């Protein structure tokens, strides 16, 4: 199985080890055969990307990192780099069972590209799980189809959520149909588990 390549500084490895307890929720490969896309670009948040990615990969899911263009991109909050394997224009929504959008500065960059926004909009419309955390919902909002939906996120984008006609709530995980949202890194464990459960 293909593994996504990351470069880990020591403090990130410590972070992942501290969170490893959630990897033991169920040691079975219950996501075997599930295909999940992680959508990032320059300025992604390292923990919000790697923590759910590692959790889901550990459960047997096949991960593909997609973005605006293939290449190596850097996190905004560390020296961690990630390889974007494919552009959104080179993949099909049918290739994936779920989409994950980490936070950081990446979402603000992603939402400026119509090809990305179109991809996310169409993904939401399939009713497959679309999970976003922290600033990740900025890309979901950009689709223009969140009116009446209930989302959570980092409180810095509460106004963006309400201006889009959605309802903002302050909780660790909010599940509204196929939309899964969370606030910040302390919510990564329930966020990751919610994605797993949505795929079972």
Catalytic residues: 134
Pairing state between β 71-74 and 81-84: antiparallel
Structure tokens at 97: 């069972």
Question: The tokens 């974007």 sit on which residue?
Answer: 84
Structure tokens at 118: 């179109």
Q: Exposed e or buried b for every residue in 113-130, given b needs 16+ CB within 10 A?
A: beebbebbbebbeeebbb
Backbone angles phi and psi of 138, in degrees to 5: -60, -35
């Amino acid at each position: 199985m293909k593994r996504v390549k990351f470069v880990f500084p020591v403090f990130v490895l410590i972070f992942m080890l501290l969170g490893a307890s959630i990897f033991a929720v169920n040691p079975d490969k219950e996501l075997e055969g599930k295909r999940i896309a992680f959508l990032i670009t320059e300025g992604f948040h390292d923990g919000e990307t790697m923590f759910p990615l590692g959790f889901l990969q550990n459960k047997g899911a096949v991960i593909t990192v997609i973005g605006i263009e293939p290449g190596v991109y850097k996190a905004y909050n560390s020296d961690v780099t990630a390889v974007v394997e494919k552009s959104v224009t080179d993949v099909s929504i049918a290739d994936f069972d779920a989409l994950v959008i980490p936070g950081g500065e990446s979402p603000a960059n992603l939402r400026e590209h119509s090809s990305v926004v179109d991809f996310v909009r169409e993904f939401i419309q399939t009713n497959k799980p679309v999970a976003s955390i922290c600033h990740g919902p900025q890309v979901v909002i950009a689709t223009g189809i969140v009116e009446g939906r209930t989302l959570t996120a980092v409180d810095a984008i509460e106004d963006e959520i309400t201006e889009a006609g959605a309802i903002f709530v302050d909780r660790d995980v909010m599940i509204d149909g196929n939309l899964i949202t969370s606030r910040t890194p302390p919510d990564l464990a329930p966020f990751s588990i919610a994605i797993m459960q949505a795929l079972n």
